[in-house]
Amino acid sequence: MDLRTRINTAMKQAMKDKDAARLSTVRLINAAIKDRDIAARSEGKENGVGEDEVLAILGKMVKQRRESARTYEEGGRLDLAEREEAEIVVIEEFLPRPLSQDEVAAALDEAVAEVGAESIRDMGRVMGILKSKYTGQMDFGAVGPMVKDRLSA
Protein backbone atom coordinates (compact mmCIF):
# COMPACT_ATOMS: atom_id res chain seq x y z
CA MET A 1 0.00 0.00 0.00
CA ASP A 2 1.48 3.35 -0.99
CA LEU A 3 1.99 6.13 1.52
CA ARG A 4 -0.90 8.35 0.41
CA THR A 5 -3.30 5.41 0.73
CA ARG A 6 -1.98 4.65 4.23
CA ILE A 7 -2.47 8.28 5.26
CA ASN A 8 -6.03 8.41 3.89
CA THR A 9 -6.86 5.09 5.57
CA ALA A 10 -5.51 6.42 8.87
CA MET A 11 -7.64 9.54 8.49
CA LYS A 12 -10.79 7.48 7.93
CA GLN A 13 -9.96 5.27 10.90
CA ALA A 14 -9.37 8.29 13.15
CA MET A 15 -12.78 9.62 12.10
CA LYS A 16 -14.43 6.29 12.94
CA ASP A 17 -12.61 6.12 16.29
CA LYS A 18 -13.50 9.76 17.04
CA ASP A 19 -9.81 10.36 17.85
CA ALA A 20 -9.70 14.14 17.44
CA ALA A 21 -5.98 14.57 18.14
CA ARG A 22 -4.93 11.90 15.66
CA LEU A 23 -7.41 13.13 13.06
CA SER A 24 -6.08 16.67 13.37
CA THR A 25 -2.49 15.51 12.81
CA VAL A 26 -3.38 13.31 9.83
CA ARG A 27 -5.29 16.22 8.30
CA LEU A 28 -2.21 18.41 8.72
CA ILE A 29 -0.18 15.77 6.88
CA ASN A 30 -2.74 15.65 4.06
CA ALA A 31 -2.81 19.45 3.82
CA ALA A 32 0.99 19.65 3.56
CA ILE A 33 1.01 17.02 0.81
CA LYS A 34 -1.78 18.76 -1.11
CA ASP A 35 0.00 22.11 -0.83
CA ARG A 36 3.13 20.54 -2.31
CA ASP A 37 1.03 18.83 -5.03
CA ILE A 38 -0.40 22.19 -6.06
CA ALA A 39 3.05 23.74 -6.16
CA ALA A 40 4.35 20.79 -8.21
CA ARG A 41 1.51 21.14 -10.73
CA SER A 42 2.34 24.81 -11.21
CA GLU A 43 5.92 23.68 -11.94
CA GLY A 44 4.61 21.36 -14.66
CA LYS A 45 4.48 18.03 -12.81
CA GLU A 46 1.03 16.70 -13.73
CA ASN A 47 0.89 13.90 -11.15
CA GLY A 48 2.00 16.00 -8.18
CA VAL A 49 4.74 14.84 -5.87
CA GLY A 50 6.14 11.33 -5.64
CA GLU A 51 6.58 9.00 -2.70
CA ASP A 52 10.09 10.27 -1.93
CA GLU A 53 8.90 13.86 -1.71
CA VAL A 54 6.03 12.83 0.59
CA LEU A 55 8.64 11.22 2.87
CA ALA A 56 10.65 14.44 2.79
CA ILE A 57 7.52 16.43 3.75
CA LEU A 58 6.90 14.09 6.69
CA GLY A 59 10.53 14.34 7.79
CA LYS A 60 10.33 18.12 7.68
CA MET A 61 7.11 18.08 9.73
CA VAL A 62 8.78 15.94 12.42
CA LYS A 63 11.79 18.25 12.52
CA GLN A 64 9.57 21.33 12.87
CA ARG A 65 7.62 19.77 15.72
CA ARG A 66 10.79 18.73 17.57
CA GLU A 67 12.04 22.31 17.40
CA SER A 68 8.66 23.63 18.57
CA ALA A 69 8.52 21.14 21.44
CA ARG A 70 12.02 22.16 22.56
CA THR A 71 11.02 25.84 22.42
CA TYR A 72 7.84 25.19 24.40
CA GLU A 73 9.75 23.24 27.05
CA GLU A 74 12.27 26.05 27.41
CA GLY A 75 9.38 28.48 27.79
CA GLY A 76 7.71 26.35 30.44
CA ARG A 77 4.72 25.42 28.27
CA LEU A 78 4.78 21.67 28.85
CA ASP A 79 1.18 21.25 27.69
CA LEU A 80 2.06 22.55 24.22
CA ALA A 81 5.30 20.55 24.16
CA GLU A 82 3.34 17.37 24.90
CA ARG A 83 0.93 18.12 22.06
CA GLU A 84 3.84 18.55 19.66
CA GLU A 85 5.35 15.26 20.85
CA ALA A 86 2.00 13.50 20.30
CA GLU A 87 1.92 14.84 16.73
CA ILE A 88 5.46 13.54 16.17
CA VAL A 89 4.36 10.03 17.19
CA VAL A 90 1.51 10.09 14.65
CA ILE A 91 3.69 11.46 11.82
CA GLU A 92 6.48 8.95 12.48
CA GLU A 93 4.01 6.08 11.94
CA PHE A 94 4.18 6.86 8.22
CA LEU A 95 7.97 7.14 8.04
CA PRO A 96 10.18 4.11 7.43
CA ARG A 97 12.29 2.83 10.32
CA PRO A 98 15.36 5.06 10.81
CA LEU A 99 18.69 3.43 10.03
CA SER A 100 21.13 2.61 12.83
CA GLN A 101 24.62 4.14 12.88
CA ASP A 102 26.08 0.93 11.40
CA GLU A 103 23.47 0.89 8.62
CA VAL A 104 24.15 4.57 7.87
CA ALA A 105 27.88 3.85 7.65
CA ALA A 106 27.25 0.88 5.32
CA ALA A 107 24.93 2.98 3.13
CA LEU A 108 27.56 5.71 3.00
CA ASP A 109 30.25 3.21 1.94
CA GLU A 110 27.94 1.83 -0.73
CA ALA A 111 27.11 5.30 -2.10
CA VAL A 112 30.79 6.32 -2.19
CA ALA A 113 31.64 3.11 -4.08
CA GLU A 114 28.69 3.52 -6.47
CA VAL A 115 29.72 7.05 -7.42
CA GLY A 116 33.43 6.28 -7.34
CA ALA A 117 33.90 9.31 -5.09
CA GLU A 118 37.48 10.27 -4.40
CA SER A 119 37.35 13.89 -3.24
CA ILE A 120 35.12 16.44 -1.58
CA ARG A 121 33.98 17.54 -5.06
CA ASP A 122 32.00 14.28 -5.29
CA MET A 123 30.01 15.05 -2.12
CA GLY A 124 26.93 16.29 -3.99
CA ARG A 125 26.68 13.09 -6.03
CA VAL A 126 27.08 10.91 -2.92
CA MET A 127 24.40 12.90 -1.08
CA GLY A 128 22.13 12.61 -4.13
CA ILE A 129 22.43 8.81 -4.09
CA LEU A 130 21.74 8.69 -0.34
CA LYS A 131 18.72 11.00 -0.63
CA SER A 132 17.25 8.98 -3.48
CA LYS A 133 17.55 5.69 -1.58
CA TYR A 134 17.16 6.63 2.08
CA THR A 135 14.77 9.59 2.29
CA GLY A 136 13.03 9.47 5.65
CA GLN A 137 15.43 6.88 7.03
CA MET A 138 18.41 9.06 7.88
CA ASP A 139 19.07 12.59 9.09
CA PHE A 140 20.91 14.22 6.21
CA GLY A 141 22.01 17.08 8.45
CA ALA A 142 24.05 14.56 10.44
CA VAL A 143 25.09 12.49 7.41
CA GLY A 144 26.52 15.48 5.51
CA PRO A 145 29.51 15.94 7.86
CA MET A 146 30.11 12.16 7.79
CA VAL A 147 30.31 12.24 3.98
CA LYS A 148 32.60 15.25 4.15
CA ASP A 149 34.93 13.49 6.61
CA ARG A 150 34.97 10.32 4.50
CA LEU A 151 35.85 12.20 1.31
CA SER A 152 38.39 14.51 2.98
CA ALA A 153 40.46 11.66 4.40
Residues 72, 113, single domain; the answer is no
In this prediction, residues 40-48 reach a mean pLDDT of 81
pTM of the model: 0.74
DSSP 121: G
Distance CA 93, CA 9 (A): 13
* Cβ atoms within 10 Å of 89's Cβ, excluding its own: 12
**Per-chain mean pLDDT for the chain:** 88
What pLDDT was estimated at residue 1?
A: 66
Spatial contact of 61 and 25, defined as CB atoms under 8 Å apart: no
Residues 39, 79, single domain; the answer is yes
DSSP 97: P
Residues 20, 87, single domain; the answer is yes
Residues 17, 72, single domain; the answer is yes
Which of the listed residues 40, 58, 92 is the one where a domain comes to its end? 92
Confidence of residue 23 (pLDDT cuts 50, 70, 90): very high
In this prediction, residues 76-99 reach a mean pLDDT of 91
Residues 121, 59, single domain; the answer is no
Residues 22, 79, single domain; the answer is yes
What pLDDT was estimated at residue 90?
A: 94
pLDDT surpasses 70 at 106: yes
Number of structural domains the chain divides into? 2
